[in-house]
Structure 1
Amino acid sequence: MTLGESLSLARFCFRFRRRLESQPVHCRTAGSGVSDRRLGIRRDKHDLLEERGSVDSQLIATLRLALVSGVGPRTRQALLSRFGDSATVLAASLSELREVDGVGAKLAESIRRASEEVDVESQLAICREQNVRIVTDADDDYPRLLREIHDPPAVLFVRGGLQPSDAMSIAIVGTRHATHYGLRQAERLASGLSRAGLTIVSGLARGVDAAAHRGALEASGRTLALLGSGVLNVYPPEHDELARAVISNGALLSETPPMHPPKSGSFPQRNRLITGISLGVIVIEASMRSGALISARLAMEQGREVFALPGRVDSRASTGCHRLIRDGARLIESVDDVLEELGPLVEAAPTDTGQVVHHPAELKLNEQEQAVLSAIGSETPIIDEVIVLSRLPTQRVLATLSVLEMRRLVRRLPGNRVTRI
């Protein structure tokens, strides 16, 4: 099966599944797989912490299980299916644990001893001192789109803030060795998509990632950086200032503990979060060996849209993008190309003020534009009715309708009528 056929099948399956899903999403597989730290913390110390009620006991259990080496997404799913929750998993006997698919004697022993040997207290202390939030897949503000992937993390460490509007997000990825063309295009697209109301997601790496974050920041938009290291151990170190700007206008996120060092194995795992938290991924400059192509394949497997920006035909930096386009990725040249494709995938999402929006561009409306859009509602009124309901002068309504039409939020119909798109 070619990448193009796989993309089509993945999109169909993803959209069909979303139509069927009318029940709340339940917690699914997770687990960071980071190493446990055998520091000899006595269990009674942890028990005292829980009895004080200073931290939710289920959060402690979730964090403990996530920090056990060898408990990956599939294993955690199997454990939770068998025992119900993390606390019950940790209290299970060795024989009970070994009955679970994928749990051998060594892993069962690690899980059984986690309450004594996994240093949860120090991680909680670091998070409190450094203002790092711990968000679990049981929390309301856990990113909605991440719940849809087959291996969401049990825990996210967050510096900055998450907002409901971040559900309208697009990832921009590409080579670390970007050309001037690639950097300029990444900033241009990130800036334009940010002005249209989308949150820009990337990995804070050198090259295209950094340009995407900067483009969003220049447009005063929101941006999220998914890290392969801990959120208190920014990599590369020269991006520390950029990371602080991201925190002020979005968030740094990682499934690894705050001080976790950057390791090569962490970055492929991180890539699934970049694509998983986004409606789609834009690939800008990627050679045939680029990790951005791995992100594109992950996006395809997750049912996300895959976009590719073409480059010069003789540029090795764009060979991967051209291959993606040949295999079925959407060729894009402008912000409008992306918005046209994302429109049908965007579900109603509330802003931080509670306002519900149906299109990313609605996040950037002024009061006048909001009034006209509200007057149109879900019907197809004649323009005279919009003028009356909006309580704005005729010429102002007509001018505003033109702006909304250019932003692909409304469409004029025969009979002097108008409708929302």
Structure 2
Amino acid sequence: MTLPVEWLRAALTPGIGPAGFLKLIQAFGDIAAAVSASPHQLEPLIGPAAARALKEKVSEPDVEAALAWASQPGCSLLTLLDADYPAQLAEAGAAPPLLFARGRRELLSRPMLAMVGSRNATPQGLGIARDFSAGLAESGYTVVSGLASGIDTAAHEGALGSAASTVAVIGTGIDRVYPSANRALAHRLAEEGLLLSEFPLGMQPLAENFPRRNRIIAGLARGCLVVEANVKSGSLITARLAAEAGREVLAIPGSIHNAQARGCHRLIKEGAKLVETVEDVLEEVGRLGPTRLRRRTPPSAAVPPTAVAMPELPDGLSDTAQRLLESMGYDPILADTLADRLGLTAGDVYAMLLELELAGLIAGLPGQRFQRLR
């Protein structure tokens, strides 16, 4: 359908936002009538500053830029007027009237599951996020996250290549990538998945943008899975928004010594479902029938849809190194603690830790601590 320019003009006017846009629709019946209304009629609904901006057409450069951008292959503008606007998002309250979409727009019709967590995730948390994401995508769920560092990145990486793939909702203009380290990932998402943004082109990563992004992530999904999060993490905002929208909230527990697990533990105390496997997640959000979507790229490794993949230990490890690995547990631990536990010298322990790290079995952490990965 042809997109009314008045719709774009109002959606991109600073200060109106989804709630103000809805007020205009409710008051005038359609957005064209609202755009033609007098400032006196508009001010009680959206305030004097936004009313003046709408009447002065301050969003006109953004409108022209949006139309030019949408003429490019793979780029489109999605509105509440479109038949493929996700029903769950439309019903979640204060739905964005306009979304910039780049990539596989057909993914919007798929059942989605949000996966979020800490930007400063542990190596173990990143591995769990990738494995769960791959398993959920193989089970038919499109994984939606926010393209942030840490758990978000791992969630997207795990689902890419599966038929159901992944959607990234970003807190900048869709022509920007934040963080810049995810530029290559964003390009893959534009080809194999989908990028979404409600912000005008060129929008910088402002702090106030990310709660709005989180609202969209929560609104799109049937449930929200938190992998790792500290108690001040923005992921808890997404989980709260999901709960308020009637979605399932799920959390993966961690060590009591891991600060990045405390947000998950708080969610579980407040009623979130504790999950340990992909099967646990599917029991809560529902199993899906066979998908008709084709796999876009061959998977790097097959991950069973009902469990986290746990690779076998490599051959060639010394007996002492295997014994050290078994004694580590999965909590971060000091090398000196391991030396005391096994009755070995610090030099011997560090030599074995290097062997295990080169084998990809452990990761070094700040403060001379180490953590087992598998």
- Please identify, of 105-114 and 66-75, the stretch whose mean Cα deviation from structure 2 is larger: 105-114
Which structure has the highest helix share of the two? 1
Partner of residue 195, structure 1: 138
Question: CA 1:198/1:315 → structure 2, altered by over 3 Å: closer, same or farther?
Answer: same
Residues 375-405 of structure 1: per-residue CA shift (max 9 Å, x gap): xxxxxxxxxxxxxxxxxxxxxxxxxxxxxxx
Aligned residues: percent identity? Answer: 41
Equivalent in 83, 86, 95 of residue 31 of structure 2: 86
Residues 310, 83 of structure 1: CA spacing in aligned structure 2 closer, same or farther, 3 A cutoff? Answer: same
After superposition, the Cα gap between the structure-2 partners of 1:178 and 1:135, relative to the gap in structure 1 and judged at 3 Å, is same
Residue 117 of structure 1, CA deviation: 4.9
Residue 92 of structure 1 and its aligned partner are, at CA, apart by 0.7
Q: How does 1:94-173 map to 2 (within 5 A)?
A: 94-98=39-43, 100-101=44-45, 103-114=46-57, 117=60, 119-129=62-72, 131-163=74-106, 166-173=109-116
Distance 1:57 1:286, change over 3 A: closer
Tell me which residue corresponds to 2:279.
336
Question: What is the Cα deviation at residue 96 of structure 1?
Answer: 2.2
Q: Secondary structure, in 3 states, of the residue corresponding to 1:126? A: helix
Which range moves more in the overlay, 128-137 or 205-214?
Answer: 128-137
Residue equivalent to 1:277: 220
- CA drift of 1:115 comes to 7.3
Q: Equivalent residue for 2:321?
A: none
Equivalent position of 2:211 in the other structure = 268
Consecutive unaligned residues of structure 2, counting only runs of 5 or more, are: 295-304, 307-374
- Post-superposition offset of 1:112: 1.7
Pairs within 5 Å for 1:220-369: 221-343=164-286, 359-363=287-291
> Aligned letter for 1:56?
T
Q: 1:171 touches 1:201 (CA, 8 Å); kept in 2?
A: yes
Q: Identify unmatched segments of 5+ residues in structure 1.
A: 1-54, 344-358, 367-405, 408-421
Q: CA deviation at 1:219?
A: 4.0
1: CA distance between counterparts of 2:149 and 2:293? Answer: 33
Aligned length: 296
Contact 1:234 1:240 in 2 (8 A): yes
How far residue 119 of structure 1 moved from its aligned partner, in angstroms, is 4.0
Question: In structure 2, the residue corresponding to 1:114 is in which secondary structure?
Answer: coil
Secondary structure (helix, strand or coil) at the match of 2:235 reads: helix
C-alpha separation in 1, matches of 2:103 and 2:75: 8
Is the CA contact (8 Å cut-off) linking 2:239 and 2:249 kept in structure 1? yes
Matched, 1:65 2:14: no
2:2 aligned residue (53, 56, 73): 56
Q: Output the aligned Cα RMSD.
A: 2.2
**CA distance in structure 2 between the partners assigned to 1:123 and 1:163 by the alignment:** 21
The residue type equivalent to 1:89 in the other structure is: A
SS in 1 for 2:207: coil
Q: Distance in 2 between matches of 1:116 and 1:361?
A: 44
